[in-house]
Amino acid sequence: MGTTALVTWIVTALGGLFMLGVWLSRRRDGASGRFPVPVVSGHFLLAAAGLVVWIAYLVTGAPALAWAALVILVPVALLGFVLLARWIPARRTAAPEAGIPVAVVVGHGLLAVATLVLVLLTAVASAGG
């Protein structure tokens, strides 16, 4: 289950990197957007940090690292919901966020939920012994 969580996390991250690239390329064209830079940065940096912690858990098997990764994922998810809430009304405008495809947003969100559930289940199982 831990390896499956790693795979879903990596695929989710690839979708996130694609969306970040679209957003940055459109911002570079001078468009102002609805995504606050600190929210985007926080979402990205915390998700990356959590992934590193998760890999460390898989290497060491230390349950504390599994729980740490789960704790990191909570604010990642909250920031993701903030971005989603700002993306929905912006997608029909000229904002940089409008260039992010719906399928990528939906796929990223579904994989993120799957990752969170897999990490939770793995953390619970690791605490059991």
Tens of pLDDT, residues 27-40: 876 667 889 999 99
* String of DSSP letters for 83-104: HHHHHHHHTTSSSGGGGS-HHH
d(CA 39, CA 45): 10
Domain that holds residue 86: 2-127
DSSP 128: T
Q: Is pLDDT above 90 for 22? A: yes
| Rounded alpha-carbon distances, angstroms, from residue 102 to 15, 90, 98, 107 | 12, 12, 9, 8
Residue 129 has what pLDDT? 59
Q: Residue 110: how many CA atoms within 13 Å on its side-chain side?
A: 6
Digit-coded pLDDT (tens) for 102-128: 999 999 999 999 999 999 999 999 987
| pTM for this model (two decimals) | 0.92
Residue 9 has what pLDDT? 98
Digit-coded pLDDT (tens) for 56-95: 999 999 999 999 999 999 999 999 999 999 999 988 888 8
CB 13 within 8 Å of CB 51: yes
Residue 92 has what pLDDT? 86
Q: How many domains does the chain have?
A: 1
